[in-house]
Amino acid sequence: MDAFAQGIKGFGEALRRGAVTSEQATQQYLARIAQSQPKLAAFRRVRAEEALAEARALDAALSEGDDRGPLMGVPIAIKEIIAVQGLGCSVNSSLAVADLLPAEGPLVRALRAAGCVILGTTVSTEFALATINWNDPGPWNPVDAATRRLCGGSSHGSAVAVAARLCAFAVGTDTGGSVRVPAALCGVAGYKSTRGTWSTEGVFPAAPSLDSMGVLATSVADCATVANAIKPSPRALAIPLLGLRLGLLRERDGEPLDAAVQEALDDTVEWLQKAGVVVSPIEPPGAEDVAALFSRLMPAEFARVLGKERLRAGLGSLDPVTAARAAAEIDMDPAELDALRRHTAQWRRQAQAQMAGFDAWMGATTPMLPGPRNALRSLDQALQWNRRVGRHTRPVNVFDQCAISMPIPTREGFPAGLQLIGRHGEDPHLLAIAHAIEKLLHPG
């Protein structure tokens, strides 16, 4: 029996009536991890003994009346670039950066205080700087047992762990889609918080002005439960679909969605309209300019995180995809970087103004389904795939909005993602909208 078949809330109810224990749930997940790790390779490190000891202690505490809330006893996973005491922080790179690695930060401490059981750390792409690495195939996407399919990244280990039911939820980071892209390609929900909602202290930075924290779970409802437990909101989760106003982001000329994704999106829009949602096509603000800004700002900030001398000396040791991104703006003048940040602030104000009159924006999370990994036969193809797969998610980080990707059905059977985008700081409202849509699309 799956202790989380009814989600995190269902587990909490069963835990409190004595139908299940945290130790039992933790044992179940650890057994699945041990069985699947040789193939799926979702985890970097697993802390089996420590996790079981923590689960037993939490069960004992609950029996004595110490109830820590909705996440008590819930076994979780943490992306490896997020420091966890006893496991450290890793960046999946041979480049020496031990002096830059952070100690455990406020978010992980908050999860511990809420009673979460940390099972281990999940794999990331190198420095979380790209959605794919060339030399490292990454974890196996569990949507297809026979063919290794692309997972996206960089929080792909977290997405695979959730999709394969190896944890109740996983924590990731999102600088340009690193939570939402793997969520879409692995068929799970992935919530990217507004930057600053959860502290990034204790996380190895990729680009500090774009980095934000996120959660991957099997449902929007579970993402909302986690978000509300870490930062409680008085807003109710229920919201009516009738009269909801969504802006449907248009595709750029010459860059259509793959046919299967377009069909899934069209079907979803039709269901929403039948439920009384008002869907209005809109032009994405400054699409080309924003894409160009991101492509310069992210590597420029990363070069300053590592230090230009260290990065220049170590480029040859990096994965080719990482190196191509990291080296792009290694010599950017500080005045030019400041100008990029000022332009970013302007785009954020424009996006906030353009959202007036809408409850949220919507569109496909990625323009494609999870294709076979071996279809990328050259480094150039891998770089092109990396650029294309995140074209819908990167603007959200530039605009400093909140967003969530949720699974939508496709006629091919492989997952696609619907991305919902909310205003800066209005995460509870976005999660309420997403939960209402989830109940429409997945009524079970």
Q: Confidence band (pLDDT; 50, 70, 90) for 268?
A: very high
Separation CA 183–CA 406 (nearest Å): 8
Q: Confidence band (pLDDT; 50, 70, 90) for 254?
A: confident
Is position 154 annotated as part of the catalytic site? yes
Query: Residues of the chain with pLDDT > 90: what percent?
Result: 93
pLDDT at 237: 63
The single residue of 154, 193, 209, 405 carrying the catalytic annotation is: 154
Closest of 128, 134, 136 to residue 80, by C-alpha: 128
Q: Region 330-353: what's the mean pLDDT?
A: 95
Separation CA 357–CA 209 (nearest Å): 27
Question: What are 179's two structure tokens?
Answer: 């939570």
Q: How deeply is 241 buried, as exposed, middle or buried, from its count of CB atoms within 10 A (0-12, 13-18, 19+)?
A: middle
Concatenating the DSSP letter of every residue in 127-139 gives GG-SS--SS---S
Separation CA 116–CA 8 (nearest Å): 11
Axis-axis angle for helices 427-441, 259-274 (nearest 10):
90
pLDDT at 255: 84
Closest of 363, 358, 438 to residue 395, by C-alpha: 363
Q: What is the dihedral of CA 32, 115, 214, 78, to 10 degrees?
A: -50
Residue 4 has pLDDT above 70, yes or no: yes
Q: Summarize pLDDT for 350-375 with one digit per residue, the tens.
A: 999 999 999 999 999 999 999 999 99
Separation CA 288–CA 107 (nearest Å): 34
Residue 417 has pLDDT above 90, yes or no: yes
Length of the chain: 444
Q: Summarize pLDDT for 166-193 with one digit per residue, the tens.
A: 999 999 999 999 999 999 999 999 999 9
Mean of the per-residue pLDDT values of the chain: 96
Can you list the domains of the chain with their CATH numbers?
1-283+348-444 (3.90.1300.10)
Provide the 3-class DSSP secondary structure of residue 173: strand
pLDDT at 3: 85
pLDDT at 158: 98
Q: Region 255-260: what's the mean pLDDT?
A: 93
H or E element, residue 84: none
Q: Summarize pLDDT for 118-172 with one digit per residue, the tens.
A: 999 999 999 999 999 999 999 999 999 999 999 999 999 999 999 999 999 999 9
pLDDT at 108: 98
Separation CA 156–CA 137 (nearest Å): 11
Separation CA 77–CA 172 (nearest Å): 9
The single residue of 36, 178, 212, 219 carrying the catalytic annotation is: 178
Q: Is 286 left (phi over 0), alpha (psi -120 to 50) or beta?
A: left
171 φ/ψ angles, rounded to the nearest 5 degrees: -100, 140
Residue 318 has pLDDT above 70, yes or no: yes
Given a contact cutoff of 8 angstroms between Cβ atoms, the answer to whether 169 and 71 are in contact is no
